[in-house]
Amino acid sequence: MSLRDVLSMVLALALTPTFAADKVPAGVVARMGEVELRADELRAIIESLPPEAKAQLATAPQELARIIRLEVLRRSLAAEARGKGWDKRPEVVSQMERAREQMLVATYMNNVARPPEGFPSDAEVKAAYDQNAASFAVPKQYRLSQLFVLTPADADKAMVTKAQGKAADLATKAKARGADFGALAKTASEHADSAAKGGDMGWVAENALIPELREPVSRMAKGEIAGPIKSPQGWHVVRLDDVREKSTRPLAEVRDQIAAAMRMRKAQETEQAYLTFMTNKTPVNINEAELTKLQTAPK
């Protein structure tokens, strides 16, 4: 979805009756007393958001409502503060000027350090991909389904025996010819999330499996059922539904990620080089005498 699409969507949402459009003039998104937020001002706010925040707005109208209300409240508080002369207080004037300069420097340095539009080239991205292939490795994965019987940490011997018996019974039923593993999971498994999905645990990376399951699962064939297998949490009866061998994410899949990281690193290097150039060109001279006075002055 393009930025224009996001803007059109959120502005359309902003001007619906949710924001009491009958009480707000045309072109104004929201009002609080005499304070207004115009559509073009909201557009500027949205354009300043990072890409992930824009994407969230497209699917979460309530987030847009929150942004609008916070912005109008901020403006109302600022208007109240100005009305009471708060912006004329010397310490506030000083802090506001410092904040203004910090924003000025930040935006200026962002511009100075911004890499050229063509950076990185396809060849540079490919070289970075080849040099860091290990970081794009995908471990072996298993698609598993399970029947689970909980054994509480404080379970007594009788409870442990009962749980073990239930797990053994479930394993026998699951391995019987024509057994419906999914139905068994829904009615008898004690792991709520997977039970609701017929025991399906989804894809699990080999290194993410609990140690008790890792070795048995690695020896299973697709469709095979193993268990019950004891873990600190309880008993597992698992079925191996599918396997994905170790692989490396293709360049096409990670190109944007690599390019973004390279642009960020390039910007950081350029910024540091520029700051070094500035300090070498015009060194900072510190008046040690005045600094000593400040350090030794009574608090």
Both tokens of residue 53? Answer: 């925040």
Closest by CA to 13, choosing from 75, 67, 73, is: 67
Average pLDDT over residues 72-101: 96
Element (H, E) at 147: strand 141-150
Q: Which residues pair with 37 in a beta bridge?
A: 30
CA distances from 190 to 98, 163, 194, 230 (A): 59, 11, 9, 14
Kindly report whether the peptide bond that precedes residue 228 is cis, defined as omega within 30 degrees of 0: yes
pLDDT recorded at residue 23? 65
pLDDT tens track for 212-269: 999 999 999 999 999 899 999 999 999 999 999 999 999 999 999 999 999 999 999 9
Q: Is the pLDDT of residue 21 over 70?
A: no
End-to-end CA distance of the chain: 57
Average pLDDT over residues 85-95: 96
The overall average pLDDT reported for the chain is 89
3-state secondary structure of 10: helix
> What are the residue ranges spanned by the domains of the chain?
3-84, 122-131+254-296, 140-245
> CB–CB of 54/10 below 8 Å?
no
Structure tokens belonging to residue 29: 């998104």
Residue 107's nearest CA partner among 271, 281, 224, 221 is: 271
The whole-number pLDDT of residue 267 equals 95
Sorted by sequence, the CB contacts under 8 Å of residue 148 that are 6+ apart come out as: 189, 190, 191, 194, 195, 233, 234, 235, 236, 237
Judged against a pLDDT cut of 50, whether residue 206 lies above it is answered with yes
Report, at the CATH architecture level, how domain 140-245 is classified.
Answer: Roll (3.10)
Q: How confident is the model at residue 4 (pLDDT cuts 50, 70, 90)?
A: low
* pLDDT confidence of residue 105: 96
Tell me what pLDDT residue 280 has: 94
pLDDT band at 16 (very low <50, low <70, confident <90, very high): very low
d(CA 194, CA 16): 41
Mean pLDDT for 79-98 is 96
What distance in Å separates the CA atoms of residue 297 and residue 86, rounded to the nearest whole number? 30
Task: Check: CB of residue 228 under 8 Å from CB of residue 171.
Answer: yes
Which range among 3-17, 186-200, 255-269, 285-299 shows the weakest confidence by mean pLDDT?
3-17
Closest CA to 274 of 114, 116, 98, 117: 114
Q: Which residues is 28 bridged to in the sheet?
A: 38
Quick one: pLDDT at residue 15?
46
pLDDT digits (tens, 9 = 90+) for 165-175: 999 999 999 99
pLDDT at residue 34 is higher than 50: yes
Q: Which letter does DSSP use for residue 16 in this model?
A: S
What pLDDT is stored for residue 59 in this prediction? 80
Phi–psi pair at 49, nearest 5 degrees: -75, 150
pLDDT at position 139 over 90:
yes
